[in-house]
Amino acid sequence: MEPALLAEQVEAERVEADEAVLSLDRWMGRYQEGDPNAPGVLIAAISPGLLRFFRSQPVSREQADDLLQDTWLRIHRVRHTYRPGEPVLPWVYAIARRARVDGYRREMRIAAHEKPTRPDEAGPGTDPPRHEAPAFETLIAALPASQREVITLLKVSDLTLEEVARATSSTVGAVKQKAHRAYKRLRELLQPEEKSLP
Mean pLDDT along residues 137-144: 81
Range 63-74 burial, b when 16+ CB lie within 10 A, else e? bbeebbebbbeb
Q: What is the pLDDT of residues 162-181, one digit of tens each?
A: 877 887 778 999 999 999 99
State how far the Cα of 12 lies from the Cα of 18, in Å rounded to an integer: 10
Query: 3-state SS string over 104-143?
Result: HHHHHHHHHHCCCCCHHHCCCCCCCCCCCCCCHHHHHHCC
Range 105-115 burial, b when 16+ CB lie within 10 A, else e? eeeeeeeeeee
Mean pLDDT along residues 135-143: 78
What are the extents of the domains in the chain?
Answer: 12-113, 132-190
State how far the Cα of 102 lies from the Cα of 143, in Å rounded to an integer: 29
Q: What is the pLDDT of residues 11-34, one digit of tens each?
A: 656 555 556 656 888 999 999 999
State how far the Cα of 35 lies from the Cα of 42, in Å rounded to an integer: 12
When pLDDT is cut at 50, 70 and 90, the band that residue 197 belongs to is very low
pLDDT score, position 195: 46
- The CATH class of the 12-113 domain is mainly alpha
Q: What is the pLDDT of residues 95-115, one digit of tens each?
A: 988 998 898 888 888 888 776
Q: What is the pLDDT of residues 70-86, one digit of tens each?
A: 999 999 999 999 998 88
Per CATH, domain 132-190 is 1.20.140.10: no
Who wins on pLDDT, 194 or 59? 59
State how far the Cα of 7 lies from the Cα of 1, in Å rounded to an integer: 10
- Is residue 168 a contact partner of residue 149, using CB atoms and an 8 Å limit? yes
In a 3-state reduction of DSSP, which class is residue 88?
helix
- Is residue 92 a contact partner of residue 75, using CB atoms and an 8 Å limit? yes
